[in-house]
Amino acid sequence: MDKRVGFLGKVIAIFMIGSFLFCGSHAYGAESEKEAFLKGVAYGQKGNYGAAIKAFTKAIELKPDFAEAYHNRGLIYYVKGKGDKALADFTKAVEIKKNLADAYFYRASIYDSRNDLDRALPDYTKALEIKPDFAPAYSSRGIIFSKKGDFDKALSDFNKALEIQPVFGREHYLRGKVYLSKKIFDKAIADYNQAIEMDPKDVDAYCDRGWAYQETGDLKKALADDSKALLLDPEYSWAYYDRGLAYFRLAEYKSAISDYKKAVKLNPKGASDALKEFIKHEGSQESPEASKAVNVTDLEPKDSGALYDRLLEYFRPATGEVVFSGDKRAVELDSKSARDAIQEPVKHEDLAKDSKAEEASQAIKNLLSPPRGWKGLIGKMHGKK
């Protein structure tokens, strides 16, 4: 699960009430439309969203150019997960009244949630032009800059958000991610420290601070942070990945393999990619003793962890041998030659001489070829989770 998903929802919940109060206190026109509007505000604050929508709709029927009513109804639709209706209402609101910063912000949030960054970015910027002290807009725009890889602009926006709202622990976390991406590890750790101080249950901050410690070589602290993250959220797959790598670097191979199996089970796609990289970049450099920790005979037939354990053994240049000899049920490859090749131990030089074995060898290597490099993987894990 992506732990950032709830952040925007919390921002909306907080600022929705403020928007209601602002709009309610500035409502105008005939008494009936004003009453309908204020009823909508009251219903919305109590969580009676169905009644709130009816009340705002009534206000709009009585006053078709009631921008604030469109805005507030859009908020309700968004909270209810009706993004298209929310988008239409926010668009109508800014067509009627072009200085509604909140409407631009929430419309940008919808685009952002759909990964339509090129539409979200100008709306966040417009909101900030209208309302220069709008800290959540700086934070949200900073996230988009981070996604686009423009870390300097992201850093500027997070700095501005913290200047306006120093108590925003999440902004310390987000800025820490930028420093981590820029490999400024001391500042990243300092921001993660601040984020954790403000929210001791911030799982993401523990996990990412753990990675920063790994990058600086402090593996014991990395283990402690990843373990804390898993204590808070036992299903956080990336924390298993990080801790597994720390264990491997400490030559605690059984613990490493155990963590990777859990990561694969919780997040087959993400953790499998990570494990491919682990095998490619770490597995061939470490002690062959690591392979002795691998036992795949008790795994389910489709357990992808078994495949990667076998591949971990396969790429051991120290012996020059392919050492597969375990349960073939755990390995499901498209190539019959690949299946045949891994059932019995063979020499690397034999692979080079036998065309079918060579084909199988290439098939296995293709499985190990990730869609992005090691640096890209870390970017995915700790920059775009």
pLDDT tens-digit readout, 361-380: 444 333 333 222 222 333 33
Report the candidate in 305, 273, 280 with the shortest Cα–Cα distance to residue 380.
Answer: 273
Q: Which tops the pLDDT comparison, 271 or 218? A: 218
Indicate if the pLDDT at residue 244 is higher than 60: yes
- In the structure, what pLDDT confidence band is assigned to residue 258 with cuts at 50, 70 and 90? confident
Q: What pLDDT does 252 receive?
A: 86
Is residue 361 one of the residues assigned to a domain? yes
Residue whose structure tokens are 């491919």: 276
Q: What pLDDT does 113 receive?
A: 93
Q: What pLDDT does 265 receive?
A: 81
For the chain, what percentages of helix, strand and coil (3-state, to nearest 5) are there?
75, 0, 25
Is residue 347 one of the residues assigned to a domain? yes
Helix (H/G/I), strand (E/B), else coil: 174: helix
**Do the beta carbons of residue 312 and residue 283 sit within 8 Å?**
yes
In terms of average pLDDT, the best of 18-32, 80-94, 302-316 is 80-94
- In the structure, what pLDDT confidence band is assigned to residue 161 with cuts at 50, 70 and 90? very high
Q: Which amino acid is at 182?
A: K
Indicate if the pLDDT at residue 347 is higher than 60: no
Instruction: Give the CA radius of gyration of the chain.
Output: 26
Helix (H/G/I), strand (E/B), else coil: 347: strand
Burial of 379 (0-12, 13-18, 19+ CB in 10 A): middle
Is residue 322 one of the residues assigned to a domain? yes
Q: In Å, how far are 17, 81, 238, 257, 331 from 262, measured between CA atoms? A: 41, 32, 10, 9, 18
Q: What pLDDT does 275 receive?
A: 58
Average pLDDT over residues 247-272: 80
Is residue 356 one of the residues assigned to a domain? yes
Domain count for the chain: 1
Question: What domain range is 297 assigned to?
Answer: 235-385
Is residue 109 one of the residues assigned to a domain? no
- In the structure, what pLDDT confidence band is assigned to residue 36 with cuts at 50, 70 and 90? very high
pTM (2 d.p.)? 0.66
Is residue 350 one of the residues assigned to a domain? yes
Is residue 297 one of the residues assigned to a domain? yes
Q: What pLDDT does 208 receive?
A: 96
Q: Which amino acid is at 208?
A: D
Is residue 279 one of the residues assigned to a domain? yes
